[in-house]
Amino acid sequence: MNFRGEWLLVWIMLRLFSSPAMAEEGKLKTTLSAGLTLTSGNSETLQANASLVSEGESKGFGSVRFGAEANYGENTMNDESETTVKNIKGFGNGKKTLSEKTFAYLDLSALNDDIASIDYRVSVGPGAGLYLIKKDSSKLSVETGLSYVWEEVSEIKDDYLTVRLSQRFDHQFSETAKIWQSLEYLPKLNDFENHLINAEAGAEAALNSKINLRLVLQDRYDSKPAENVKKNDLSLIAGISLNM
């Protein structure tokens, strides 16, 4: 599969996650988020983040969550600029209800990260999951399955099968405040020392009916990264989000 083919697959899967039933019932909620940090003095820095996420739940289907996010940062000193962050990712997760607390799922993600020398990394796979907590205010779910990964890192192409273990927690304190946390572990099926870990924790509070303040901590770990690239990428993002 070539680069264009993998991103075409992502686009098709995201379209599938956009359940017509949810759209017709108005159950899909879309949020646009953005953050910007500028500093000036002995050095000048710019860091920007933007994301678009849609999610919803329907009794006849289950739930979906999909979207895209981009991050960019640069540092300028003595008229010389260096790009410090430059990545874009897309993701989608669709859950089909099997019983009150069990579901089947299809999960996908796609990543491009210039600083980590990841030309592309696409992961797609099915599995099963269980809600340990499922209330209007709180949800805690776990998922397990298999994923297939296509990637090109430092101009080296590879594809392999992984186990996927993940967990997600969402809690709504009120109509105006919420927190969330997720963790995903992807070890290579025939080599568990070769693995990826993706984690996120965030909090959001409303300024008014449309605009929220948000703070998000993201961590991406690659046990075997490209040469001269660190294993861990940690980001703290502060900004606003707009309910669309």
Report pLDDT for 1: 44
- The whole-number pLDDT of residue 11 equals 56
Handedness of CA 99, 100, 102, 104 (dihedral sign): positive
Distance in angstroms (rounded) separating the CA atoms of residues 130 and 145? 12
Structural element, H or E, at residue 168: strand 156-174
Pairwise pLDDT comparison (58 vs 26), residue with the higher score: 58
Residue 135 CB neighbours (<10 A)? 10
Write phi, then psi, for 111 (nearest 5 degrees): -140, 140
* Averaged pLDDT for residues 163-173: 97
- Buried b / exposed e across 98-119, counting CB within 10 Å, b at 16+? eeeeebbbbbbbbbbbebbbbb
CB 129 within 8 A of CB 144: yes
Token reading at 156: 């080296």
pLDDT one-digit tens code per residue, 85-117: 999 999 999 999 999 899 999 999 999 999 999
- pTM across the whole model: 0.84
pLDDT at 10 over 80: no
pLDDT digits (tens, 9 = 90+) for 120-130: 999 999 999 99
**CATH no. of 3-243:** 2.40.160.40
Mean pLDDT for 16-27 is: 53
- Which residue did the predictor score with more confidence, 37 or 34? 34
Task: Give the tokens for residue 121.
Answer: 């990394």
Minimum mean pLDDT among 102-111, 142-151, 234-243: which range?
234-243
H-helix or E-strand spanning residue 34: strand 29-39
- Give the mean pLDDT of the chain: 87
Question: Is pLDDT above 80 for 235?
Answer: yes
Q: Is the pLDDT of residue 82 over 70?
A: yes
Task: Assess whether pLDDT exceeds 80 at residue 36.
Answer: yes
Task: Give the range among 50-64, 139-153, 155-169 with minimum mean pLDDT.
Answer: 50-64
Determine the 3-state secondary structure of 42 from DSSP: coil
- What's phi and psi for 12, nearest 5 deg? -65, -45
Which sequence spans correspond to the domains of the chain?
A: 3-243
For residue 58, the number of C-alpha atoms closer than 13 Å in the C-beta half-sphere is: 20
Phi then psi for 40, rounded to 5 degrees? -145, 150
Confidence at residue 28, expressed as pLDDT on a 0 to 100 scale: 82
With vertex at residue 121, the alpha carbon angle to CA 131 and CA 164, rounded to the nearest 5 degrees, is: 25
